[in-house]
Amino acid sequence: FRYRMHPVQGWLGLSQLERIDATNAMRVRNMRRLNQKLAGVGDLLLPFEPPGGGHTAVHYVIWTEHKKALQRHLFAAGIDAQDESAENVAAMDRYRRFAAGPYPVAEKLDGKILLLPQHPCLGSADMDRIAAVVRDYFDRLPRGAETA
């Protein structure tokens, strides 16, 4: 690849490389904190660290049947949870003819993915607040609805 980069862009990129290990460590710290605080909450599926493997935790991705309502609850509390529109492309008209069969994982992810904030500049208190708001959402659901 040939990139035409302005020297200032190169300088900024190199300065980021000097901090990347520390930045990734902060992201992993935040991921672990959220995992600890959100374990067993509602129907959430949380990120995991593969044993013996590294993780950069660029995004904190959760799965829930309650994505839209949980996102609204987080927004109301001032927490910017991003909608990751994971779509089952095999179900889209333009790709259906190429799909060879059922794709149960894609079907399960379709419209159920949410990204919680976990930027490296956020600290433990921020992670605790995010987790508390998520827990509050599930605590307010009628009994049995949290795992719908």
Encode pLDDT of 70-92 as tens digits.
Answer: 999 999 999 999 987 677 788 88
Whether 119 and 15 have beta carbons less than 8 Å apart is answered as no
Say if residues 111 and 67 touch (Cβ distance below 8 Å).
yes
What are the structure tokens assigned to 12, written together? 């900024």
Give the amino acid at 122. Answer: L
Q: How confident is the model at residue 146, as a pLDDT?
A: 64
d(CA 60, CA 117): 7
Task: Find the radius of gyration of the CA atoms of the chain.
Answer: 19
Question: What tens digit of pLDDT does each residue of 94-144 get?
Answer: 888 888 778 888 777 878 899 999 898 999 999 999 999 999 999 998 877
Distance CA 70, CA 137 (A): 7
